[in-house]
Structure 1
Amino acid sequence: MNIDKIEKQTTENIRAKANLIWEIATHLVGLYKPHEYGKVILPMTVLKRFDDILAPTKEAVVKKAEELQAQGMIPALMDGILSQTSGYQFYNKSKFDFKKLLAEPDNIEENFEDYIHGFSENVQDILTRFKFADEIKTMNSGNVLYVVIQEFNSEKGDMSLGKITSADMGYIFEELVRKFSESYDEQAGAHFTSRDIIYLMTELLVAPEKDNIKAHGCSKTAYDMTMGTSQMLGCLEEKLKDINDNATVDCFGQEFNPETFAIAKADMLIKGSNASRMMYGDTLSDDKFSGYEFDYIISNPPFGIDWKKERTAVQDEAKLGYDGRFGPGLPAISDGQMLFLLNGVKKLKEGAGRMAIIQNGSSLFTGDAGSGASEIRRYVITEDLVEAIVQLPTDLFYNTGISTYIWLISKNKSDERKGKIQLIDASKCFEKRRKNIGNKRVDLSSNCIDLIVNAYNDFSNDTYQNGDLSVESKVFDNDYFGYTKVTVLTPILDENGQPILKKGKPQPDKAKTDTESIPLNEDIDEFIKKNVLPYNEFAYLDRKKDKIGYEIPFTRLFYKFVPPTPSEDIFAEIKALEEEETTLMKELFGKEN
């Protein structure tokens, strides 16, 4: 996939259409702040799109609704019949549409509410999450409701199928979401992950199957546990279609922010996808997909966010052990990102599932041996689930400049990857942006993505370069990341410097108790003999306190020592600066000072 070409799928015409729609927000100036425009523009765009595509069957739906109501049919049965009559997953049985609303300016609020209530429940759910009823009252009280409807009914708001295909409408809607996100500036990343990151994740997800999908197509299921506006699922579907037009993917997602959930569900309906698979709720405490298994999982869960409000539900599920999602352990209450990692592991299809999930650096190393975080790492590593971890450049996300990582989790490792983990340092593989968006100062171009994916596919210890771009890959055995934390005791010594014994055993000096972390691939006795006894000849171990830990010291493994500048070079530079200063002084004053 060429990201530079894909980015242009949001063509000038599509962007122009999105800009025209967004211009309607000029009528909201004063009544709304710029970062609030999306609260009106996004739901109104959804409504107008639905209004335009339902137009050919609108009269039939209204007539059928009247007939069914006269017969006393219950709403649940009516819903299926009216959807079948409209030809879509949704319908509107109100006598009003956008054109008819304009015929009665004095009753615009009352009629518009009647129009809203005429929609099927799935659309009304979207509007409820948007809290659109509040916006209707705000617009009406500000005397802009009629004008906004009028603007959406103009040529710029024409979103009929004859004008805009489902695919293009999806891009237009995403462009509007992007504009809405950027209006939040540094808050954008809370619900919008840029496409360059997602394209890399999708490439890595499908890499082992790419040739097979190209030759034979595929039928997959995909899940995003923190779907935001559902871009990741959309990009994954786009990626599979790009490989083979016959590829199909059923998308499932969960989101707990009402507004972004509304955007995601609306996007699915706009594109003609099954919006019923988009679920609202807190993934950690209210799992809507318990018992489900998926081929692909792609997600960017929040990190650095505590899980205090989910504590009771999570701890109760942890008591179920491996029958639940959190059997391996629980991380520190201050950061719940590893809980999402476990949620994904539980939902990967056995023998086939693959997950690409974003984590920050704390998932690599926080937590001492025996802690919940260490036990989670121990589980995913010893179960041979971690395929690769990719360090991304800093300043890549809208809302943070810190180091982030893509974890590739697989329940179907190739034979060459079994028992091994590939680490890829792509921190220097980026192109600077011409214009920053919040904290996002760099992008992953198609060259960057190709280089990273090439390193992943090659699966070797090597450095890959393309001009100024550089990526380094290292492969390790799983056991490399495990260690035994042993307790080293020092005995109390008598006046002759000899250990004091009690019942033949040395008595430990508690003030001098120490620990050593010894790699699993090293013999503990040999390690102590080599690294401890030369400096503490009477030291001994309390092996009852041994603890196994796992950590991935990513930064240390890719550290490059840069020797300091030799003093003679520093002096030479100082002398050159002094000579340059003398020359400048002569030019300035015409004589030597």
Structure 2
Amino acid sequence: MNQILTKKLESLPELLSIGEVAETFGIHRDTLRNWEKAGKLTPLRVGPRQDRKYRKEDIQTLIDEMGSKLTLQQLEQFLWRSADILRGKIDSSDYKKYIFGLLFYKRISDVWDEEYKKIMDEYKDKNLAEADYNHRFQVSRDCKWSVISETSVNIGQKLNDIFDKITNVNSPKLDKIFDDLDFANKDRFPNETIQRLVNHFSQYNFGSNYISSDLLGDSYEYLIKQFAADAGKKGGEFYTPREVERIIIGIVKPHQRDHIYDPTVGSGGFLLEAYNYLKDKSSEQVARTLYFYGQEINIGTFAIAKINMFLHGLDSADIRRGDTLANPQFLNNTGNLQTFDIVVANPPYSIKDWEFVLFKGDKYGRTEGYDQPPNKNADYAFVLHIIKSMNINGRAGVVLPHGVLFRSGSEGRIREQIIKNDLLEAVIGLPPKLFYGTGIPAAILIFNRNKPEQKKGKILIIDAEKDFLEGKNQNTLRKQDIEKIIKAYDQYQDIEKYARVVDAKEIEESEYNLNVRRYIDSSEKQEEIDVKQVWKDLQTLEKEREEINKKVTGFIKELGYSE
């Protein structure tokens, strides 16, 4: 970084404007103003307007002090600017996978160099330094980032070839990671566009000595969120708001060595939230005892999830590609569904085109004891898969559209059967517009295969629909909103206009309708009106009005205006 910034500085004048300095560092002008307040970089004041001017030598001193490490904000801004290079050239819902792919490639190449240097410095043995067992990922010399950065023609095809080689030599670890990328399409990626992307990523060293796993992982999560917002409706296909994930993980409470499964894993947010939860509650060492599993049907999103796990240092996470309903990937030795301590999911809402026929003849026993879900809506197919994937002490949290709470027909019968089996522990109504691309109200359903005695035959209903921070296009849950929901669940008792523990008998009398408002009246209490008192007040006012009229009439007569 030092050399690159110094090189930029060479072509600039002796006195730099605030815009020139901001562009040199790749930061916002407000950041420079904050540096000035902190005494980190003090400008001269020049001219009648007292414009800020920065001396070259002061900038160079700061560059030397900063070294090669980036802050989280700088890294986020740097990575997001890579999207600007592709914006307008390809669809916004597509270019994320190319940026994620390049970022991951740069990371593993730079880390390989670090690992090589460390062994060479210690043992001075080239063969030992190149040995596979001394590297997290294998990157041969003809696949190094330096090779692609020095390529000037047919860069796209060269990238494709490198990705194929890296995949093969790291199989099965990196299988399908780069499958959805084609940089050789010159209509989408002219040579100069790819050159700009490569030059952009070449500005910094992405090795772990410069950018920690936590820092890179957090910035990657930031990118996922930004891309989800940019993609609008399609963003909801791979991104669940982290606040919603935080609620579910805070309720199911992962323990040491828990096996955690997400059948519609998306970008892997639920699994990361579980890791961060236990890391905060206990330690990183304890959090790393968790076992993570996920399945994703979309190949691009599958790659995002895999890369997300790798960048956070969770290489053991088992993420597989495939249709969870038609071809579940996690089976035990007898060919039945593998079961887990915790299952979490935000499946696609109410999909009409799903493998109904395959599910109808399900060999995994997911519909055993239950009605068949409707052929034009897969919501309850996912619910039945989740229930079947819970072990004898399993607990689960799933986000679903409100319709699952009250729709009739086969869905109503499945809901009845679940309640009779005493698997449902809580229903949480969420605020509107939390999810990208849809205003459909959603709810969280909490399942527990081994409910505590005091919760048996009961379901906690929470109405959290009114607690949120309103946004122009997207609403968000605040920290206090999240904590309020989790606390209400933990207490598992009635809270006026917010939570209610409902007996299964009452739900039966309501024909197994779980509509939140059927059980909780959260409407504002109307002020009671004392009709007698109001009538008395009106009579008093009428008398006062008559007295005023008499006085006014007297004044008019005195002035000689009366008839």
Matched, 1:454 2:499: no
In 1, Cα distance between equivalents of 2:403 and 2:424: 16
Partner of 2:557: none
In 2, Cα distance between equivalents of 1:479 and 1:116: 59
In 1, Cα distance between equivalents of 2:151 and 2:418: 63
Q: Deviations over 1:281-326 (max 9, x none)?
A: 11111111232111111111122211x4301211111xx5x83455
Partner of 1:176: 223
Partner of 2:98: 40
Is the CA contact (8 Å cut-off) linking 1:482 and 1:550 kept in structure 2? yes
Partner of 2:153: 106
Is the CA contact (8 Å cut-off) linking 1:40 and 1:135 kept in structure 2? no
Matched, 1:400 2:438: yes
Instruction: Read off the aligned partner of 1:18 and give its amino acid letter.
Output: E
In 2, Cα distance between equivalents of 1:21 and 1:166: 15
Question: What displacement does 1:100 show?
Answer: 2.8
TM-score norm. by structure 1 comes to: 0.69
Question: What displacement does 1:84 show?
Answer: 4.2
User: What SS is found at the alignment partner of 1:183?
Assistant: helix
User: What SS is found at the alignment partner of 1:184?
Assistant: helix
Question: What displacement does 1:34 show?
Answer: 4.6
The gaps in structure 1 that reach 5 residues or longer are 1-11, 62-66, 69-80, 464-470, 484-518, 520-548, 573-593
Kindly report which structure 2 residues correspond to 1:108-127, keeping only aligned pairs within 5 A, or say none: 108-119=155-166, 120-121=170-171, 122-123=173-174, 125-127=176-178
Question: What displacement does 1:421 show?
Answer: 0.9
- Which of 75, 85, 89 aligns to 2:133? It is 85
- Which of 420, 423, 437 aligns to 1:382? It is 420
Matched, 1:132 2:186: no
Matched, 1:231 2:269: yes
- Which of 377, 396, 407 aligns to 1:355? It is 396
In 2, Cα distance between equivalents of 1:480 and 1:331: 25
In 2, Cα distance between equivalents of 1:138 and 1:276: 36
Partner of 1:478: 504
Matched, 1:302 2:348: yes
Deviates more, 1:379-388 or 1:396-405: 396-405
The gaps in structure 2 that reach 5 residues or longer are 1-69, 120-125, 332-336, 539-563
Is the CA contact (8 Å cut-off) linking 1:422 and 1:459 kept in structure 2? yes
Partner of 2:123: none
In 1, Cα distance between equivalents of 2:481 and 2:87: 41
Partner of 1:552: 514
In 2, Cα distance between equivalents of 1:101 and 1:264: 25
In 2, Cα distance between equivalents of 1:270 and 1:125: 17
Matched, 1:312 2:357: yes
Is the CA contact (8 Å cut-off) linking 1:39 and 1:135 kept in structure 2? no
Q: Deviations over 1:226-263 (max 9, x none)?
A: 11111111111111111111232111001111111110
Partner of 1:417: 455
Instruction: Read off the aligned partner of 1:472 and give its amino acid letter.
Output: Y
Structure whose residues are more often strand by fraction: 1
Inter-CA distance 45–558: structure 2 relative to 1 (3 Å threshold): same
In 1, Cα distance between equivalents of 2:315 and 2:376: 36
Matched, 1:197 2:244: yes
Instruction: Read off the aligned partner of 1:460 and give its amino acid letter.
Output: Q
Inter-CA distance 429–26: structure 2 relative to 1 (3 Å threshold): closer
Instruction: Read off the aligned partner of 1:241 and give its amino acid letter.
Output: K
Partner of 1:502: none
In 2, Cα distance between equivalents of 1:82 and 1:133: 29
User: What SS is found at the alignment partner of 1:424?
Assistant: strand
- Which of 443, 453, 464 aligns to 2:476? It is 443
Instruction: Read off the aligned partner of 2:159 and give its amino acid letter.
Output: F
Matched, 1:253 2:294: yes
User: What SS is found at the alignment partner of 1:359?
Assistant: strand
Instruction: Read off the aligned partner of 1:329 and give its amino acid letter.
Output: D
Question: What displacement does 1:48 show?
Answer: 0.7
User: What SS is found at the alignment partner of 1:100?
Assistant: helix
In 2, Cα distance between equivalents of 1:115 and 1:60: 24
Partner of 1:589: none
Inter-CA distance 104–285: structure 2 relative to 1 (3 Å threshold): closer
Is the CA contact (8 Å cut-off) linking 1:284 and 1:314 kept in structure 2? yes
In 2, Cα distance between equivalents of 1:261 and 1:395: 25
In 2, Cα distance between equivalents of 1:51 and 1:87: 11
Partner of 2:74: 16
Is the CA contact (8 Å cut-off) linking 1:139 and 1:145 kept in structure 2? no
Inter-CA distance 136–82: structure 2 relative to 1 (3 Å threshold): farther
Q: Deviations over 1:33-60 (max 9, x none)?
A: 5554324211111111111111235699
Inter-CA distance 37–323: structure 2 relative to 1 (3 Å threshold): closer
Matched, 1:25 2:58: no
Instruction: Read off the aligned partner of 1:159 and give its amino acid letter.
Output: F
In 1, Cα distance between equivalents of 2:318 and 2:225: 23
In 2, Cα distance between equivalents of 1:346 and 1:83: 44
User: What SS is found at the alignment partner of 2:277?
Assistant: helix
Is the CA contact (8 Å cut-off) linking 1:294 and 1:349 kept in structure 2? yes
Question: What displacement does 1:144 show?
Answer: 2.0
User: What SS is found at the alignment partner of 1:379?
Assistant: helix
Partner of 2:258: 220
Partner of 2:386: 344
Aligned residues: 445
Deviates more, 1:29-38 or 1:393-402: 29-38
Is the CA contact (8 Å cut-off) linking 1:328 and 1:379 kept in structure 2? yes
Question: What displacement does 1:564 show?
Answer: 10
Is the CA contact (8 Å cut-off) linking 1:83 and 1:91 kept in structure 2? no
Deviates more, 1:142-151 or 1:243-252: 142-151
Instruction: Read off the aligned partner of 2:213 and give its amino acid letter.
Output: S
Partner of 2:370: 328
User: What SS is found at the alignment partner of 1:323?
Assistant: coil
Q: Deviations over 1:509-550 (max 9, x none)?
A: xxxxxxxxxx6xxxxxxxxxxxxxxxxxxxxxxxxxxxxx53
Instruction: Read off the aligned partner of 2:445 and give its amino acid letter.
Output: W
Q: Deviations over 1:426-482 (max 9, x none)?
A: 11222223xx3x4x2x2221111222222212222222xxxxxxx611112223222
Is the CA contact (8 Å cut-off) linking 1:265 and 1:275 kept in structure 2? no
CA RMSD of aligned residues (A): 3.1
Question: What displacement does 1:28 show?
Answer: 3.0
In 1, Cα distance between equivalents of 2:156 and 2:365: 52
Inter-CA distance 28–563: structure 2 relative to 1 (3 Å threshold): closer
Is the CA contact (8 Å cut-off) linking 2:426 and 2:445 kept in structure 1? yes
Is the CA contact (8 Å cut-off) linking 1:191 and 1:228 kept in structure 2? yes
In 2, Cα distance between equivalents of 1:40 and 1:188: 16
Matched, 1:429 2:467: yes
